[in-house]
Amino acid sequence: MTLKSDWEIVGAPVDPDSTDRLFFTAHEWATVEAATARIMPTDQDAGAREAKVVVFIDRYLSGIDYVYAAADGSGFLKITGKYADAWRARMNEMQNVYRHGLAQLDALAEAEGGKRFAELSDEGADRVLELLSGAPKPGHVTLGTKEPVTTFLQGSFDEGLDFFSAICLHTRQGFYCDPVYGGNKDQMGWKFIGFPGPKSLKDTMDGTYSTAEYFYQGDFDWEDLIPQLRAYRQAGGTL
């Protein structure tokens, strides 16, 4: 999509502490909050609940008003015409995925533990999510060890995803998104991974925030960076 710089800016950055529901019912809100809190749980660090991931997902599913943040972080670009029609159609599909998925989550919870999902213990909720996903709960991943890491990079596009895959993706997005979208409250997600992000999107436009200091500016030998290049030269190859 090509976004013109003169498109109208509407609304304001999403308040992560807002309890206004734009798409979810009160029960759906509580269920999504409970599910995301098990997908990205709280331990010694903040999790999805503290980062207000549910606010991000609610606004995302609500329609076309919170899709593209303005470059200066002051609000969102107003989508009109065929772009608005296309986005509404896409959101209608994802809204249905959530409505049916949340109902299925409660049905599994009732069958497994005699309670609705939001009322389950952490262990009970994990068991229901296992049943929903058809896979066991992932184990802890510790980087820097000799143990193989079985996780893999996942895409950022949700079209065609089932409910479990979609809510996992949206949980990650809500935890690490720019705070203008409602999640990542107080930059909790960024702090968790050590990313000193901008205070606002405006800082990325006026030069206040820069990543220049993170670029290596010393001398280096390309052969140290590309071992195949060293082998190529040793074999008599030239560039």
User: What distance in Å separates the CA atoms of residue 70 and residue 87, rounded to the nearest whole number?
Assistant: 17
- Residue located via tokens 């599910």: 35
| pLDDT tens digits for range 157-186 | 899 999 999 999 999 999 999 999 999 999
User: What distance in Å separates the CA atoms of residue 48 and residue 9, rounded to the nearest whole number?
Assistant: 29
| pLDDT tens digits for range 1-42 | 444 445 788 889 999 999 999 999 999 999 999 999 999 999
| pLDDT tens digits for range 119-137 | 999 999 999 999 999 999 8
| pLDDT tens digits for range 76-116 | 999 999 999 999 999 999 999 999 999 999 999 999 999 99
The tokens for 157 are: 């596009």
Q: What is the pTM of this model?
A: 0.83
The tokens for 225 are: 């960076």
pLDDT of 228 over the 90 cut: no
Selected residue with higher pLDDT from 38 and 232:
38
CA distances from 2 to 69, 77, 79, 118 (A): 14, 12, 11, 41
